[in-house]
Structure 1
Amino acid sequence: MNAQAAALKTSAPQTPSLPQAKPEAIGLSGARLQKLSDAFKREVDRGTLPGATVLVARKGQIGWFDAIGRQSPAASAPMAHDTIFRIFSMTKPIVSIGIMQLLEDGHFLLSDPVAKFIPEFSETKVGVENNGKLELVPARRQMTVQDLLRHTSGLTYDHTGNGPVQQLYNESRLRSRKISNAEHATMLAAIPLACQPGTDWNYSRSTDILGRIIEVVSGKPLGAFLTERILAPLQMTETAFFTGEANAGRLAEPFAKDPWNGEEVKLFNMLEKPVMESGGGGLVSTTMDYARFCAMLLGGGSLDGNRIVGRKTLELMASDHLAPDVVIKGDLVPAGHRFGLGFAMRTEAGIAPFLGSTGQFFWSGMAGTFFWIDPREELFAVFMMQGPGQRQYTRSLVRNLVYAAVE
């Protein structure tokens, strides 16, 4: 069965599909999309990744949906349209939409301090390295909800560097899935910030704190809020913080050791219900589920008559929120790009070493999942795999190949 024929058959009937069309009917080249699939089949044959799915939609219709390789290197089951993946940081855009829903309900302003909802953050200090020692200095201002959304809060991640503050993260229980969101927030507030709020872009646990704010404001667990306000209205029936034992045969798994450097690969157990519902990286999902989220984003905040977030709110989220003097740390925001409220966006036609359009917005997950929305081309794409070490390579590869097919 070729990719286009396979797109008409989904083994997850509980998740409604989106409208489908032949590629040429929506301004895509079927021959070039076949080259996209062929390229990833070569990567599977080379042992770069066990398998992947790729879905491309334009003008409101799916033009390509292919499942390539195997779900798991330890089993013979082929990759499928309804395979379940850890989406890690692709959780962040969903939670960011959730916090903006509460903004639209009038519960707070973006300029409100985080301490208004989590008092432990009112006395947070900033850690400064001085002659090899960590010194604590007062924060010049409080971190805000906007800082959390755009990762200028001063929070960080333990895996994005080896500074003294990140070492404190490593020594803590922040990575435990057995603590609550409330416990996680209290623990994080006791650790110094990596920089003054508003000065640096540091990829961070900020969205986990947004998840806790959602709980405080709504009075509901994060998972229950997301289901009620986003997942159920969008009929994303397979997206949650874990999946049931009945789905054990549908889980995508990585190679036990990274195929490029030989390091052991450890990802969380998707069948285990966590205590902490991580707003920064805890969801599991399917390609079609996330495609429905993307269709809502491309649709200006609504899908099938269900408005999830306002058009102008989404417009604000997909705009640049970094002041000119903000230092972007790390390489997650590529050259020619900036960051908004929950998404990165392309601001330059050139500079970046891969194809795209100005105005597109996107984010990705640590295990290799990736999506982007291109309003100019009326296009979105969802790519799913489980290969942490290959994620940067595959992100650029899939971008180039999808855009090569745009007529």
Structure 2
Amino acid sequence: MRLWRLLALGMALLGLALAQVREGVDLGVLQAFKARLEAEVAQGRLPGAVVLVARNGQVVFHEAVGYLDPKARTPMAKEAIFRIYSMTKPLTSVLALQLVEEGRLFLTDPLALYLPEFREIRVGVERAGPEGRPVLELAPSQRPITLYDLLRHTSGITYGIFFDSLVKQEYRKVNADALDQTREEFLAKLARLPLQFQPGTLWEYGNSTDLLGHLLERVTGKSLAELMEERIFRPLGMVDSGFQVPPEKWGRVAEPPERDPFTGTPTPLPLNVREAPKRYSGGAGAVATAQDYHRFLQALLNGGELGGRRILSRKGVELLTQDHLGPLYLPSLQRGAPYLPGFGYGFGLGVAVRLEDGGSPLPGSKGDYYWAGLFGTYFFVDPKERLIGVFMMQNPGGRTYYAGLFRNAVYASLR
């Protein structure tokens, strides 16, 4: 009788151990990570977050911590809707590649073929002025900007935010980055501004994807919101994604804290997603839940389809997620902090792409890809491990810290 009890106990312990591992992911490690996040919430460093991990096509971990609205102390929910900011960019890239596959665009097409206001572009060059102060001079562009440049951020178009230069100061003077302006106002400003560098010579993060989105609108005669709904959100069952949150879902919108706990400064005013935007920003305007964005990433990991609905060909996904900088990677990297993909990563057509198994301080595999959003959303996909990680929060100052914390925990959980 005692033997049977020991066997039963052994089987129970074995079952518990097996339950802790799903699809080769140790859930105990991820539960410890969740506890770490809860401690960060208790310390006032993290307002709230939703975490999702999937492997081999199965969601193995999907949890919420903290507050949906820190001011109202509303508990975070797994179904929370987040402003994803620059995680909009891969969505716009997929739309562009769809039109390429349909023969409506070529990546080698000049931008001015579709947006003729960009025919006369100039490049800003900093020269030594009086008393050694730099001054901005304008030089002619040596070649046109192409759609390929827009997708891989080698157009010379920049942002007014992120670091500084005389060209960026010109952007800030006219508030070029603003989402609260019409498409026509945005295009008119951008067409008059100088480029940060000659097209095709460096990687520079900027308004390229916004410009690409408006180009797609002009080519198709539809808004970016309509295109994404018809071509990505509806086919993939991304039921809570879009460029505006309807009134019945307002109570699910995650909000940032009034003051950023990492910087101690007031949090920038978040995108108003409860009203229709003046323009649809292909670089920063979308919202999604963690589950919705996972469906998009799973489609990419599956080679372009999910549940029998295809959004891109297998080769189209390969094109999106392979490095397109080549030798430009090194001069871009030598610029230091402005090269956001970081050590060991090149850039595809909207995502950072790992070049080798080594050479990066981040855990991962050759060919993994990632990107993030201004207010703290983050994802990575590792095709070798059949692994997806999605981290959603609205805490701009902590975005690098929590993305690193999340990635380290997920890779530590692999068995």
Output the TM-score relative to the length of structure 1. 0.92
State the match for 1:114 in structure 2: 111
Structure 2 gap segments, 5+ residues each: 1-17, 129-133
CA distance in 2, matches of 1:394, 1:122: 42
* CA displacement, residues 1-54 of structure 1 (integer Å, 9 cap, x when unaligned): xxxxxxxxxxxxxxxxxxxx9662411112111112112112212222111010
The answer to whether residue 67 in structure 2 is matched with residue 70 in structure 1 is yes
* CA displacement, residues 102-128 of structure 1 (integer Å, 9 cap, x when unaligned): 000101211111111100111100011
Matches within 5 A, 1:170-181: 170-181=172-183
Matches within 5 A, 1:21-170: 24-131=21-128, 132-170=134-172
State the match for 1:14 in structure 2: none
State the match for 2:311 in structure 1: 308
Structure 1 gap segments, 5+ residues each: 1-20
Matches within 5 A, 1:172-321: 172-266=174-268, 267-321=270-324
Note if contact 2:159-2:177 (Cα within 8 Å) is conserved in structure 1: no
Q: Identify the range of structure 1 (248-257 vs 305-314) with the bigger mean alpha-carbon deviation.
A: 248-257
CA distance in 2, matches of 1:364, 1:306: 26
How far is 1:161 from its partner?
Answer: 2.2
State the match for 2:10 in structure 1: none
How far is 1:295 from its partner?
Answer: 1.0
Note if contact 1:208-1:279 (Cα within 8 Å) is conserved in structure 2: yes
The AA in structure 2 aligned to 1:295 is Q
How far is 1:248 from its partner?
Answer: 2.4
The AA in structure 2 aligned to 1:243 is V
CA distance in 2, matches of 1:289, 1:282: 16
CA distance in 2, matches of 1:172, 1:375: 42
**What is the DSSP-based 3-state SS (H/G/I as helix, E as strand, rest coil) of the residue aligned with 2:119?**
helix
**What is the DSSP-based 3-state SS (H/G/I as helix, E as strand, rest coil) of the residue aligned with 1:373?**
strand
State the match for 1:396 in structure 2: 404
How far is 1:247 from its partner?
Answer: 2.2
How far is 1:173 from its partner?
Answer: 3.7
Rg larger for:
2
The AA in structure 2 aligned to 1:291 is H
CA distance in 1, matches of 2:295, 2:32: 25
The AA in structure 1 aligned to 2:341 is V
CA distance in 1, matches of 2:25, 2:208: 38
State the match for 2:3 in structure 1: none
State the match for 1:17 in structure 2: none
CA distance in 2, matches of 1:247, 1:156: 34
How far is 1:176 from its partner?
Answer: 3.4
Q: Identify the range of structure 1 (271-280 vs 238-247) with the bigger mean alpha-carbon deviation.
A: 238-247
How far is 1:331 from its partner?
Answer: 4.2
CA distance in 1, matches of 2:86, 2:328: 26
Note if contact 1:156-1:166 (Cα within 8 Å) is conserved in structure 2: yes
CA distance in 2, matches of 1:23, 1:240: 35
Assess, with a 3 A threshold, how the Cα gap between structure 1 residues 113 and 73 changes in structure 2: closer, same or farther.
same
How far is 1:91 from its partner?
Answer: 0.2
CA distance in 2, matches of 1:325, 1:304: 38
Note if contact 1:316-1:341 (Cα within 8 Å) is conserved in structure 2: yes
CA distance in 2, matches of 1:307, 1:93: 16
Note if contact 2:354-2:369 (Cα within 8 Å) is conserved in structure 1: yes
* CA displacement, residues 248-283 of structure 1 (integer Å, 9 cap, x when unaligned): 221211121111221111212221221111000001
Give me the CA root mean square deviation: 1.4
**What is the DSSP-based 3-state SS (H/G/I as helix, E as strand, rest coil) of the residue aligned with 1:129?**
strand
State the match for 2:354 in structure 1: 346
Residue 377 of structure 1, aligned match among 370, 385, 388: 385
CA distance in 1, matches of 2:140, 2:204: 19
State the match for 2:131 in structure 1: none
The AA in structure 1 aligned to 2:346 is R
The AA in structure 1 aligned to 2:233 is L
More helix, by proportion: 2
CA distance in 2, matches of 1:226, 1:376: 28
Note if contact 2:375-2:395 (Cα within 8 Å) is conserved in structure 1: yes
The AA in structure 1 aligned to 2:230 is E
CA distance in 2, matches of 1:269, 1:43: 27
Note if contact 2:204-2:339 (Cα within 8 Å) is conserved in structure 1: no
Note if contact 1:239-1:284 (Cα within 8 Å) is conserved in structure 2: yes
The AA in structure 2 aligned to 1:384 is M
**What is the DSSP-based 3-state SS (H/G/I as helix, E as strand, rest coil) of the residue aligned with 1:123?**
coil
How far is 1:67 from its partner?
Answer: 0.3
* CA displacement, residues 69-122 of structure 1 (integer Å, 9 cap, x when unaligned): 111210122110111111000000000000000000101211111111100111
Note if contact 1:182-1:212 (Cα within 8 Å) is conserved in structure 2: no
CA distance in 2, matches of 1:190, 1:377: 46
* CA displacement, residues 367-396 of structure 1 (integer Å, 9 cap, x when unaligned): 000111111001101110001110011111
State the match for 1:324 in structure 2: 327
Give aligned-pair identity as a percent: 44
How far is 1:351 from its partner?
Answer: 2.9
